[in-house]
Amino acid sequence: MNDYKIRSRIWIEVGDKVLVGEGRVRLLKEIDEKGSLSKAAKSIGMSYKKAWTLVDAVNRSAKEAVVTTSVGGQKGGGTLITPYGKNLIQAFEAINTKCWTFLDEEFKTLEGI
């Protein structure tokens, strides 16, 4: 028996710009865990420049700041996810989970495959 699966990717747009998708959410979650953009980028194998570009794009497109940064000093700087950013991550993940559940259930209804 074949193990067929439906695969899909979703993202949220604002106007004609991507706000968040799986990759950006993964980066935001790593930032939240590590407290640092550079550490988050390194942990997922992404350059700092690309990570900064993605985070900046999210911040510019969102209605509120998703991340805040602080410049280094004695204890070093950091990047934090705002409460709005955490809500955005949770909303995306809830929508994504519902989408996958729906697709799995719809696939089960197809006959002859």
Q: How far apart are CA 109 and CA 43, in angstroms?
A: 40
Strand locations in the chain (E): 11-14, 17-21, 67-70, 78-81
The predicted model scores a pTM of: 0.86
Tell me the pLDDT tens digit for each residue of 9-42. Answer: 999 999 999 999 999 999 999 999 999 999 999 9
pLDDT band, residue 70 (cuts 50/70/90): confident
Cα atoms in the 13 Å half-sphere on the side-chain side of 61: 18
Name the phi and psi angles at 22, rounded to 5: -60, -45
At residue 16, φ and ψ (nearest 5 deg) are -105, 15
Report the amino acid identity of residue 82.
T
Cα gap 37→40, rounded to integer Å: 5
The set of residues, in sequence order, having a beta carbon less than 8 Å from that of 104 and lying 6+ positions away, is 6
* Domains of the chain and any CATH numbers: 13-108 (1.10.10.10)
